[in-house]
Structure 1
């Protein structure tokens, strides 16, 4: 077992997830799985998980849960279990997990070697790298909160996003990426980040457009601007973006050259108070 491993993962989604988990946490190679932990935030779902080399098969649940307890954490400090899998050589067998309270989380992973401008560009806005000032990042926080999906309570989401952006700002300061904004009349109306794995991969993060400014071509134009700026700066050859499988998001991303590369699945169980097994 090694710490802060560079053990390769085949999935573009999981490989680029490691850009963030290596910076904020610990990555360990267990052989059959990669253990990802964030000691400063043990209850964070996607900072504390196991990614297995192969999909789950019948009889794996108890062993996977034991590995999670040993290498990731136990309640109450880690009140969930989260499993991903890198390989797709065999179909996953999910029945036992689903019968024991797990749910499947699915995301679509899109990739492109380079981006082109969308057909419907917004040329009224100004697109630029966010300056590293408290005021600029406070604007980004406000825009991210305004851009949140339905179902998220505003104050709790603001608290989560404030911590999240603080970590991403630290990554920008460390030279691992940039935060970008689209401005109309001096107001930030769309923002996102792009981060490097130190090699040929770039990963987009937290694409958000203010609800009052959607369907104006801002998002696609900003994605194109940011991707090409970051690709030129880092000399990368593959851009990656991960999203929920919504038609509207995919339509924006494919409009600038992204194509679906894979579908990413995880198994999540949130443990109830007092639940130990």
Structure 2
């Protein structure tokens, strides 16, 4: 199966590093055995969008190719972009799935943010246990309400995720960056090479106590420029929630929407729609 989606093609650099991204003909199987609670590390990408009758078929394929409880307690389906055919997700929504709508944004070269983050120090995170522990704490503090995960489960997920990111940095595939205010890590993100001239941003987060200070835009510009100058790469790629304001911050430093991506997620404990 040949993927056309820029978002999914850059996603697979992470799946392949310590997991599996396997072409199964009509679907790509993404599995991260060491972190089964990571939704986007354990999912299926189909060649076509959901159609009537696909719900039981896709769920059966997920159980066979990705797994099920107690290790894998979610189900997540994506499909290639642009969609080949009409999307009919009514059966999935009635069964308790949520539709996740993202924008995949890209740019050849970033421009300075319209709002500079005065007083912030922007730098590469050093490869020390203390520095990476601070990054995990910062990421945990950024957990949004309504994720459906307990604080303990979210921390466990982040610890697994950042073991992989640290290993990728050590392998020379990217960098992790931080914005510091008065010595405190207030925002962080990663940029990694995805091959074929592409660089992909990951896990952008600003601590709730430091939001609306221009840190995200400033750090995005700093990190993207540093990554291109150091790793090369002709195009920067970032994925954002289509319904969240972060995409406007990315647009402020030059990112433009390249494609729109939708997924269907059933989280642990999500009830079916009684209608």
Is TM more than 0.5 here? yes
Q: 1:81 to 1:139 in 2, by over 3 A?
A: closer
Moved more, 169-178 or 141-150: 141-150
Task: Give the equivalent residue in structure 2 for 1:184.
Answer: 181
**Counterparts in 2 of 1:78-227, with a 5 A limit?**
78-87=72-81, 88-151=83-146, 153-227=150-224
Task: Give the equivalent residue in structure 1 for 2:273.
Answer: none
Q: 1:166 to 1:54 in 2, by over 3 A?
A: same
Moved more, 262-271 or 218-227: 262-271
Task: Give the equivalent residue in structure 2 for 1:24.
Answer: 18
8 Å contact 1:172–1:178 — kept in the other structure? Answer: yes
Q: 1:96 to 1:248 in 2, by over 3 A?
A: closer
Q: Secondary structure at the match of 2:195?
A: coil
8 Å contact 1:190–1:219 — kept in the other structure? Answer: yes
Moved more, 38-47 or 218-227: 38-47
Task: Give the equivalent residue in structure 1 for 2:36.
Answer: 42
TM-score of the superposed pair, with normalisation by structure 1: 0.88
8 Å contact 1:127–1:182 — kept in the other structure? Answer: yes
Q: Secondary structure at the match of 1:161?
A: helix
Unaligned 5+ segments in structure 1 are 1-6
Q: 1:80 to 1:227 in 2, by over 3 A?
A: same
8 Å contact 2:35–2:160 — kept in the other structure? Answer: no
Q: Secondary structure at the match of 1:189?
A: strand
Q: 1:143 to 1:104 in 2, by over 3 A?
A: same
Task: Give the equivalent residue in structure 1 for 2:54.
Answer: 60
Moved more, 43-52 or 174-183: 43-52
8 Å contact 1:8–1:15 — kept in the other structure? Answer: no
8 Å contact 1:176–1:198 — kept in the other structure? Answer: no
State the distance in 1 between where 2:100 and 2:210 align: 29
Q: Secondary structure at the match of 1:197?
A: strand
1:202 to partner: Cα distance: 1.2
1:174-204 Cα offsets, whole Å, 9 max, x none, are 1111000112232222111111113311111
Q: Secondary structure at the match of 1:164?
A: helix
8 Å contact 2:44–2:77 — kept in the other structure? Answer: yes
TM-score of the superposed pair, with normalisation by structure 2: 0.88
State the distance in 2 between where 1:216 and 1:110 align: 23
State the distance in 2 between where 1:214 and 1:80 align: 31
8 Å contact 1:107–1:244 — kept in the other structure? Answer: yes
1:120-178 Cα offsets, whole Å, 9 max, x none, are 11242221111101111122122222233234654443332222222211111111110
| 1:71 and 2:65 matched | yes
8 Å contact 2:37–2:157 — kept in the other structure? Answer: no
